Chains A and B, each alone.
Chain A
C-alpha cells in the first residue's frame, strides 16, 4: 500500500501547482454538451440513472404481465396486453409468455441492475469519493453511455421482431436458442438479443476500464487503498469482475450468433432433429456441444450476479455507518470478504449445471466452492450487525432501506446454501425456489440497496433533500410487498411448481396453487403501485425539495466536501485525506464526525 503523505505522484487532472482546475466560467457549454453529450462523470451517472428508471419501468411492466398470466391465465391482460398481444386482443399466447419472461430477465439484469449500480452510481461516486476531478478517460466514459443505447434500441426492436421476440430465456440455452425451428421467437429476435448484449457488454467494459484506472491512479493525496470507502471497494471489485468475465460472454454471444447466422455449429450437436428437420438439411453445421454454451454463459453470469450485488454491499456499508454514526465494524474484513466473494465467484459456475449430466466428482468441486461463498457472506452480515451494535441510529429512509438490504440478503444467501447442497438442488432446481432465491438477492437485495443509495446521495446529486414522509411510505410499502411476493415463491417451489411455465395449471396437481399465485400477483401489483411514491418524491424533490448545504448527513467521505450539486471539476478546493472514512463519534474531537479531508 502506498503510504499516503509520501505519495509523490500527483493525481491526474490537477494542474502542476496541485490546484484543482476549476473553470466553469471560461468555457460555458451549450445545453447539448452540458446535459446530453457530456463528458462530466456526474452528468453521465445521472443519465445512466434516468435511463435506468425507464428500463426499470419496462422490466417491471413485463413482470406484471408474467404475474397476470400466472394468476389469471389466458384472460385479457390489462394495460400492456393490448400492446404486447394485439392479435389476440390482449390475451397472452404461449409464445408471448415465453417472450415475456425472457425479456423481463434480460432487461432487468443487463439494462437495469448492472447499469444502475455500476453505470449510475459507479460514475457518480467514484471521482467524488476518491477526490478526483473526473474519470481517467472522460470521453471513453461518455462513449460507454452512448454504447448502451444501441443495446437498448436493439432490445426494443427485438420485441417486435419478425416471428416474435426472443424466447429462449435470459440464459439462452442452445439448441433452443440456436436452431430457428426450435422456438418461434428464434427468428431474428434472438439475433437482435445477441447483438444487443454485445453492445451492453462493450458499454460495461468501457465503464470497467475507466473505474479501475480512475480508482488506481487518481486518488487524492492521502487516500490510501485502506482509506477508501467500502462503496469504492465494491465498485472496484465489481469492475474487475467485469473486466475478467465479460469477454467470455461476448465471445460466447458471438459464437451463438455465428451458429445462427453462419451455421457454424458450435453448440449444435450432431444428429439433432428439430421439428422434423436436421440441421444439415437446412445447411447448418453440427458437431458442437450444447453444454459448452452453459459453461461459457455461467462463467460470465455467475460473476455477474456478484457484479449485481458487491457495489450494493459497499453502498449499504457506507449508509449504515453514516446513519448509525459509528465506524464500520471490521473495515478490513469487509473489504477482504468482498474480494473473497469475487474470487470464489469465478470457480462456482458449475452449480448452475448440476443437472446437466455433470460427473459427480466435478459436481463435488463446484459444490465445495459454492458452499464456501457462504463464509465471506456471513462475515459481511455479522459485521453489519456489529456496526449497528452500540451505534446511534438515525432511522432515515436510506437507513431503513439499508437495513432491509441486510435482512433480505441473508434470506437469499441461505437459500443459496440449499442450492449448494446438490441433493436438495436436484429437487429445487428449475422450480420457483430458484426464482425466490435470485429475487431475494437481486431485487430485495440490490434494488433495495439502490433505493437506499438514491435517498442517501440524492442531496449530492441535486442539492435538495427527498421527502422523508414519502420515503418512509415508499419503504414500508415496498418492504412488505416485496416479502409477500418473493417469500411465497419459496412455498410454490417446495410444492414443486416449475419456473418458466406458461400455464402452471396445465399441471392438475398444481391447480390448487392458483390462489397462492393470485396472492403473489396482487402483492406484485401493489409493489409496483408503491413505486409511485418514489417517482413522485424523486421528481418533485429535484425541483422543490428542501435545499441542502454540502454535507446534510454529516458524513466523512470526500463527496461531501463538494458543493451540492458539485460543479464542473468537482472540488472547489484542494482536498487531502488524513484518515479513513468512518471516524464517527471519535472521542478525540467534539463533533460526532471527522471528515476525511479535515486537517485536525
Chain B
C-alpha cells in the first residue's frame, strides 16, 4: 500500500538544510517528550491502579518540582527560540545584491518577469548559485508563493509588496505551489522552478522574446504618464525629486517619516494624497485604474534605479 512513499521533500537551496536541521532538533525534542509523557501516563495508570495501590498518597504539590518543570522547558524553548530567531532573520533579510525578479499572483496563475524583461507564466527559470530576489504582489486575492524544495514561502497580497529570496544549490526542476487558499481552482495553481547552469540560463533567456526590461519599461511609462513633468530632477519642481530616494526615510507634511519603499511608491501613485511629502502641495493626480500591477512594478523598478547622477545628467 505504501510503496515509494517519499515523505520528505527535496533539499535544493542554501537555507533548506539549515531549516531542516532546526526541524530535526524540534522533532527530536518532540519525540522525547511524547515518549516521556505518554510512557509516564501508561506506566502510572498501570502502576497505580486501584487493585494494586492500597492508599493513595497525600501529595498536594511541590514548589521544587514546579520550578523544575518550568525551567527545563524554558531552557529548551529558549534554545529553539535563539536558533529560530537567527535563522528567521537570515531568511527575512535579503542580501543587498542579487537578481531582481517580479512575481504577480492572479487567480489562478503566477506571472513572472525576469530582470532582463523576459516573462513567463507558471514557471520560473533561475541560474544556480545566484541570489534571487523576488518582489511579489497579487492582482486579486491573497496567494502564497511556495517552493517546498527551497523551504521558502510568502503570501502575495493585493495592494502591497512582499519579498522573498533564495539561492538554489542544485540544478533541476522543482515544484511551485500556491499555499494560500485562493478560491475554486486553488489546487490547480501550480508551477515549476527550473534551476539551470548560468550559461544555460543565458541561452534560455536568449531564446525568449526579450521585450524591454522592467527598468526600461518603467522609464518609458514615467514619460508617457507625464510623471516627469512634475518629478524632473532639481529643485523648484512641482513634485519632489525621486532620484536616490529609494530605501531611505521620506518626510511627510505631518512631520512623520515613512520608509521610501515599494509599498510607499505604490501608494503614492494610487493614493497620492494619503501621505503628503513635506513641503509639497497635493497636486499629484491619482493613477488608480490607469496602471496595471505590471506597470506599477515597472515604475517602481525605474524609481528604484534612479540615482542622483543619472537624474542630473538628464
A positions within 8 Å CB-CB of B: 94-95, 98, 167, 169, 173, 175-176, 179, 182-184, 269-275, 278, 280, 287, 289-291, 324-327, 329-333, 355-357, 360, 363-364, 367-368, 371-372, 374-375, 378-379, 381-383, 385-386, 388-395, 399, 403, 406-407, 410-411, 414-415, 417-418, 420-424, 426-427, 429-431, 491, 494-496, 498-504, 506-507, 509, 512-513, 515-516, 519, 584-587, 592
Which listed residue, A167, A430, A502, touches B187 by the CB 8 Å rule?
A: A502
Task: Report chain B residues within 8 Å CB of A94.
Answer: 184-185, 187
Q: Could you show 15 A-B contacts with beta carbons less than 8 Å apart?
A: A173-B141, A269-B158, A329-B59, A355-B155, A356-B142, A363-B92, A382-B65, A390-B59, A391-B53, A395-B49, A406-B37, A414-B30, A498-B187, A506-B187, A519-B1
In B182-219, which residues have CB < 8 Å from any A CB? 182-188, 190
Task: Report chain B residues within 8 Å CB of A360.
Answer: 88-89, 92-93
Asked if B224 lies at the interface with its beta carbon under 8 angstroms from chain A, I say no
Chain B interface size band reads: 35 or more
Task: Report chain B residues within 8 Å CB of A167.
Answer: 183-184
A430 to B: closest C-beta gap in Å: 4
A421-B82 Cα distance, complex, nearest whole Å: 9
B240 to A: closest C-beta gap in Å: 21
A507-B107 Cα distance, complex, nearest whole Å: 17
Beta-carbon contact of B9 and A329 below 8 Å: no
**Given A496-B9, A506-B190, A421–B80 Cβ distance below 8 Å?**
yes
B60 to A: closest C-beta gap in Å: 5
Asked if B144 lies at the interface with its beta carbon under 8 angstroms from chain A, I say yes
A587-B55 Cα distance, complex, nearest whole Å: 10
A394-B81 Cα distance, complex, nearest whole Å: 41
Beta-carbon contact of B142 and A414 below 8 Å: no
In B39-96, which residues have CB < 8 Å from any A CB? 40-41, 44-45, 48-50, 53-62, 65-66, 69-70, 73-74, 77, 80-81, 83-85, 87-89, 91-93
Beta-carbon contact of B183 and A182 below 8 Å: yes
Task: Report chain A residues within 8 Å CB of B48.
Answer: 324, 388-393
**Given A410-B33, A423-B22, A427-B148, A176–B182 Cβ distance below 8 Å?**
yes
Which partner residue on chain B sits nearest A173 by CB separation?
B142
Beta-carbon contact of B66 and A379 below 8 Å: yes
Beta-carbon contact of A424 and B56 below 8 Å: no
**Given A519-B1, A585-B55, A330–B62 Cβ distance below 8 Å?**
yes
Which partner residue on chain B sits nearest A277 by CB separation?
B140
Beta-carbon contact of B19 and A424 below 8 Å: yes
Beta-carbon contact of B155 and A274 below 8 Å: no
Beta-carbon contact of B26 and A333 below 8 Å: no
A173-B182 Cα distance, complex, nearest whole Å: 9
A363-B34 Cα distance, complex, nearest whole Å: 28
Which partner residue on chain B sits nearest A507 by CB separation?
B190
Beyond A173-B142, A290-B157: 4 further Cβ-contacts under 8 Å? A182-B140, A393-B50, A495-B9, A498-B187
Beta-carbon contact of B37 and A410 below 8 Å: yes
Which partner residue on chain A sits nearest B71 by CB separation?
A375
A271-B266 Cα distance, complex, nearest whole Å: 10
**Given A182-B107, A330-B61, A512-B6, A270–B271 Cβ distance below 8 Å?**
yes
Task: Report chain A residues within 8 Å CB of B93.
Answer: 360
Which listed residue, A179, A274, A290, A371, touches B81 by the CB 8 Å rule?
A: A371
Task: Report chain B residues within 8 Å CB of A289.
Answer: 159-160
Task: Report chain B residues within 8 Å CB of A175.
Answer: 140-142, 158
Chain B positions 1 through 24: 1 when the CB is less than 8 Å from some CB of chain A, otherwise 0: 110111111000000001100110
Which partner residue on chain B sits nearest A583 by CB separation?
B58
Task: Report chain B residues within 8 Å CB of A513.
Answer: 5
Task: Report chain B residues within 8 Å CB of A418.
Answer: 23, 26, 30
**Given A175-B141, A271-B289, A424-B22, A357–B185 Cβ distance below 8 Å?**
no
Most chain A beta-carbon neighbours within 10 Å: one of B34, B66, B144, B152:
B66
Asked if B175 lies at the interface with its beta carbon under 8 angstroms from chain A, I say yes
**Given A331-B60, A379-B70, A427–B7 Cβ distance below 8 Å?**
no
A285-B89 Cα distance, complex, nearest whole Å: 37
Asked if B181 lies at the interface with its beta carbon under 8 angstroms from chain A, I say yes
Beta-carbon contact of B159 and A500 below 8 Å: no
Beta-carbon contact of A407 and B37 below 8 Å: yes
Beta-carbon contact of A379 and B184 below 8 Å: no
A502-B182 Cα distance, complex, nearest whole Å: 11
Beta-carbon contact of B65 and A386 below 8 Å: yes
Beta-carbon contact of B50 and A394 below 8 Å: yes
A361-B185 Cα distance, complex, nearest whole Å: 34
Which partner residue on chain B sits nearest A359 by CB separation?
B92
B80 to A: closest C-beta gap in Å: 5
Beta-carbon contact of A430 and B179 below 8 Å: yes
B279 to A: closest C-beta gap in Å: 25
A201 to B: closest C-beta gap in Å: 23
Task: Report chain A residues within 8 Å CB of B293.
Answer: 271, 273
Beta-carbon contact of B141 and A274 below 8 Å: yes
B53 to A: closest C-beta gap in Å: 4
A511 to B: closest C-beta gap in Å: 10
Beta-carbon contact of A422 and B88 below 8 Å: yes
Beta-carbon contact of A382 and B23 below 8 Å: no
Which listed residue, B26, B44, B59, touches A421 by the CB 8 Å rule?
A: B26
Beta-carbon contact of A389 and B44 below 8 Å: yes
Beta-carbon contact of B70 and A378 below 8 Å: yes
A357-B157 Cα distance, complex, nearest whole Å: 8
Beta-carbon contact of B141 and A329 below 8 Å: no
Pairs A-B, 3 closest by C-beta atoms: A269-B159, A390-B57, A501-B187
B293 to A: closest C-beta gap in Å: 8
Asked if B230 lies at the interface with its beta carbon under 8 angstroms from chain A, I say no
Beta-carbon contact of B183 and A176 below 8 Å: yes
Task: Report chain B residues within 8 Å CB of A395.
Answer: 45, 49-50
Beta-carbon contact of A330 and B66 below 8 Å: yes
In B138-193, which residues have CB < 8 Å from any A CB? 139-142, 144, 146, 148, 151-155, 157-163, 175, 177, 179-188, 190
Task: Report chain B residues within 8 Å CB of A273.
Answer: 139-140, 292-293
A412-B105 Cα distance, complex, nearest whole Å: 33
Task: Report chain B residues within 8 Å CB of A392.
Answer: 48-50, 53-56
**Given A272-B140, A516-B5, A183–B183 Cβ distance below 8 Å?**
yes
Which partner residue on chain B sits nearest A272 by CB separation?
B158
Task: Report chain B residues within 8 Å CB of A496.
Answer: 9, 148, 175, 177
Beta-carbon contact of A356 and B155 below 8 Å: yes
Beta-carbon contact of B88 and A363 below 8 Å: yes
A363-B58 Cα distance, complex, nearest whole Å: 45
Beta-carbon contact of B187 and A421 below 8 Å: no
Most chain A beta-carbon neighbours within 10 Å: one of B5, B80, B81, B289:
B81
